[in-house]
Chain A
Amino acid sequence: MDLPGPRWKKGKDGKDFAALAAANPMSTIVAELQAKLRDSEAVATLAVHTRDAILEVGKDQAKLLNCASFGRAVESAGAERQWFQLGPEEVFFLCHALKCVAVESENKARMGAPELWDLLASTSEQFPEMYRAYEHLRLKNWVVKSGLQYGAHFVAYRHHPALVHSEFAVIVVPEGKAFGTRCGRMQVWSELLCVLRASGSVAKTLLVLTISTKSSELGSLDCLEQMIVHERTITRWIPQQCREQQDKSCREVSSNEEQEHTSGGVVFSYWGVVLSFTVLSSLLVYKLKF
């Protein structure tokens, strides 16, 4: 299937950023970032209770972290050193895939990648498949950020979010006995259609990454290479709108009919579901008011 093309944002001169992005390929930026962080022996500190890590860097590395869109900068008054807040997938990627950041727990104990994997997996059941999906997209040089506010696991951008709108809302679905009872996502129609609607209302295509594995358990970092990622999009086809162009797939346009069937079968056990339902119901409220 032909994937939708990128929607580049425009600069002050009215030209879109496609050329700027082409001149700064993400692979180059990430390679530079990797080199600079290694040279400075950067160390990230894990925060307790939450799974975020904080990383202190100098100006050059801060610029590269921003360009490669890792983490969020913590605003601080006029500091020469900058602080970044990294999510669990981001810190693990920098530590294990790029091998350019060392990680310490909050009491200054150094953690190797296997230990870090165990810790992150123990505090979040879904970490193995979430990380595998994150790694899969990042290794293809897509920019991956949290998609929680859109009701998805991730959003994927073709380049930096300041230059381009994100094309995909990504849902990660594990499959197989090894994942146990976690395969609960996207198993009821109301949820699938909810996520589809939420991603459509923000002009993103829904990308479902299914993670399968041959291993029978997922205890340690070794299982990472056994996980296979399958890519599939879910798009709505509107027969009324496509009669003139037979081969072109039409994306859904938000219509005035709101289908609000939320039956009792939906399981509110994931934040993405809760947030996407709140997005949708807020949309309905605004439509009724104005």
Chain B
Amino acid sequence: MAAAAASARDRRRRSRAPAGGAAHAVGIDDGEEQHLNPFLDAAPSASSRVQFRNMASCARWVEETGAAEVVESRGNLWLTTGVTRAGKLYYNIEEIGFLAERGALILLNDKDETIGIDGIYEKLAGGNYGCSWDTFQAYKHLKSLGYIVGRFGVPWTMKHGGTCDTIAPQMNILETDQSLNRVDGVSNDITKLLKKMQIDGISPSFEVYLPNSKFKKSSPGSPCFLLCLLRGKPPSRVELEAVENNFRGIPLKYCHVDNGRVSFLSFDEVTLPSLP
């Protein structure tokens, strides 16, 4: 009987085609979860991530804007990461974290001393720069898969080749500097005011675009979807309808982070057809 169960599992496993990035969400069999065996004497494989060591970019943290100004840019990660303001490139804290973990960025303080990864994690844990630890996990997950991810409502650049569809009307009144921070944990007065004006509910954290080698910050087009981070309890119908009303026409996805594991969900309103 155990054999029957095992072969049924195998049949399911063989016939399963992971749907896009959702392989984790349907990670059914425990055998799917890859666990490194720490009891073996194998050397840790951290080096597989150190691809950019010789090509690390360099950025200086600017406390007032809660972002880092890129001082030296190497490689071409900047094509899909960071925002441009007045000709300068800025990385926000989740971008800094993602790049630093891969050895692609060195962060400096205003005295040009290196801020190590511990300092970067501290800023994320503190949640004062528009992105907290769990939001960072979601960001990392999508970026690692090649998606292009920007903070919701923060324009990639102030020069536009085309139209920027995603900025909600209220956002146009913001000045360039203040527009750098808006994921969650609101960090300036104007956005605090805006938040009060809106319903206290779910709001998007990121705009997500499909991987695209021809992505242009000056005309990014419409994002593939907006990602809302959910904490606490699952969303109620009322909360879902409220956020859907605010963002008509753009697909919404939701994610929930549980100790570093990110689940992506859609809560789609449907109308079942009446059948004959």
Contact of B126 among A48, A87, A163, A290 (CB under 8 A): A48
Are B5 and A76 neighbours in the complex by a CB distance under 8 Å? no
B193 within 8 A of A: no
Tell me whether A31 is interfacial, beta carbon within 8 Å: no
Contact (Cβ within 8 A) B261 A149 = yes
A160 touching B259 in the complex, CB below 8 Å, given contacts A106-B125, A270-B234:
no
B15 at the interface (CB under 8 A from A): yes
B259 touches A85 (CB 8 A): yes
Give the residues in chain A near B259, CB-CB below 8 Å. 52, 71-72, 85-87, 146
Interface size class of A (residues with CB under 8 A): 35 or more
Give the segment of A209-217, A218-226, A279-287 that binds chain B: A279-287
A131-173 contacts to B (CB < 8 Å): 146, 148-149, 155, 160-163, 165-166
State in angstroms the CA–CA spacing of A267 and B127 once bound together.
Answer: 32
Residues of A155-195 contacting chain B, CB below 8 A: 155, 160-163, 165-166
Q: Which residues of B contact A286 (CB under 8 A)?
A: 12, 15-16, 26
Q: Closest approach, in angstroms, between the C-beta of A92 and any C-beta of chain B?
A: 13
Q: If A77-B49, A77-B101, A78-B50 touch, does A49 touch B28 (CB 8 Å cutoff)?
A: no
A71 to B17, CA, bound (A): 30
Q: Are B30 and A76 in contact (CB under 8 A)?
A: no
| Contact partner, B125, options A48, A77, A204, A250, Cβ 8 Å | A48
In angstroms, Cα B118 to Cα A45, docked, is 11
Q: Which of B26, B122, B127, B134 contacts A279 (CB 8 A)?
A: B26
**Majority SS of interface residues in chain A?**
loop
Residue of B nearest to A250 (CB): B1
Quick check: is A109 within 8 A (CB to CB) of the other chain?
Answer: no
* Min distance, Cβ A57 to any Cβ of chain B, angstroms: 12
The answer to whether A163 and B28 touch across the interface, beta carbons within 8 angstroms, is no
Residues 226-273 (chain B) with a chain A CB within 8 angstroms: 231, 233-234, 256-261, 263, 265
B27 partner residues in chain A, CB cutoff 8 A: 149
How far, in angstroms, from A24 to B41 measured CA to CA in the complex?
Answer: 14
With most chain A CB atoms within 10 A of its CB, the pick from B5, B39, B49, B185 is B39
Asked if B49 and A47 make an inter-chain contact with CB atoms under 8 angstroms apart, the answer reads no
- Which of B9, B52, B101 contacts A75, CB < 8 Å? B101
A52:B127 contact, CB within 8 angstroms: no
CB distance from A204 to the nearest CB of B (A): 8
Q: CB-defined interface of B14-30 with A at 8 Å, one 1/0 digit per residue?
A: 01100000001111111
Q: How far is the CB of B124 from chain A (nearest CB, A)?
A: 7
Q: Is A56 an interface residue (CB 8 A)?
A: yes
When each residue 11-54 of chain A gets 1 if its CB lies under 8 Å from chain B and 0 otherwise, what string results? 00000000010001000000000000000000001111110101
Does residue A66 face the partner (Cβ distance < 8 Å to B)? yes
> Within 8 Å CB of A67, what residues of B?
38-39
- Name the residue among B1, B36, B259 with the largest chain A CB count within 10 angstroms: B259
Which residues in window 111-130 of B have CB below 8 A to A?
A: 117-118, 121-122, 124-127
Chain B residues within 8 Å of A282, by CB: 25-26, 28
> Closest CB-CB distance, A6 to chain B, in whole Å?
12
User: Which of chain A's residues have a CB closer than 8 A to the CB of B9?
Assistant: 203
Residue of B nearest to A50 (CB): B134
Expressed in whole angstroms, the Cα–Cα distance for A256 and B109 within the complex equals 61
Closest-CB distance, A69 to chain B (whole angstroms) = 8
Contact (Cβ within 8 A) A76 B49: yes
Given contacts A49-B185, A52-B260, A290-B15, contact A202 B46 (CB under 8 A): no
B133 and chain A: residue at smallest CB distance = A47
Q: A54-B121, A107-B126 are in contact. Are A77 and B260 (CB under 8 A)?
A: no
Q: Which of B151-198 contact A (CB under 8 A)?
A: 184-185
- The answer to whether A203 and B38 touch across the interface, beta carbons within 8 angstroms, is no
- Of the candidates A63, A85, A149, A203, the one whose C-beta lies within 8 Å of that of B5 is A203
B246 to chain A, nearest CB (A): 21
Are A278 and B38 within 8 A (Cβ)?
A: no
Whether A49 and B231, one on each chain, are in contact in the complex, defined by CB atoms closer than 8 angstroms, is yes
The answer to whether B132 and A47 have CB atoms under 8 Å apart is yes
CB <8 Å contact, B263 and A149: yes
Bound: A199/B102 CA distance, A: 36
A259 at interface, CB cutoff 8 A:
no
- How far, in whole Å, are A67 and B39 apart by their CA atoms in the complex? 7
| Those of B24-73 within 8 Å (CB) of chain A | 24-31, 33, 35-39, 46-47, 49-50, 52-53
Which residues of chain B have C-beta atoms less than 8 A from A202's C-beta? 28-30
On whether the beta carbons of A54 and B125 are closer than 8 Å, the reply is yes
**Cα(A286)–Cα(B122), bound, Å:** 43
Q: Say if the beta carbon of B223 comes within 8 Å of chain A.
A: no
Shortest beta-carbon contacts, A-B, top 9: A77-B103, A47-B133, A66-B38, A162-B35, A48-B127, A50-B134, A162-B37, A290-B15, A47-B125
| A–B Cβ pairs within 8 angstroms, 5 of them | A47-B124, A67-B38, A78-B46, A268-B234, A286-B15
Q: A48-B185, A269-B233, A270-B234 are in contact. List 4 more A-B contacts (CB 8 A).
A: A47-B125, A49-B231, A107-B126, A146-B261
Which residues in B have some Cβ–Cβ distance to A below 8 Å?
1, 4-5, 8-9, 12, 15-16, 24-31, 33, 35-39, 46-47, 49-50, 52-53, 100-103, 117-118, 121-122, 124-127, 132-134, 184-185, 231, 233-234, 256-261, 263, 265
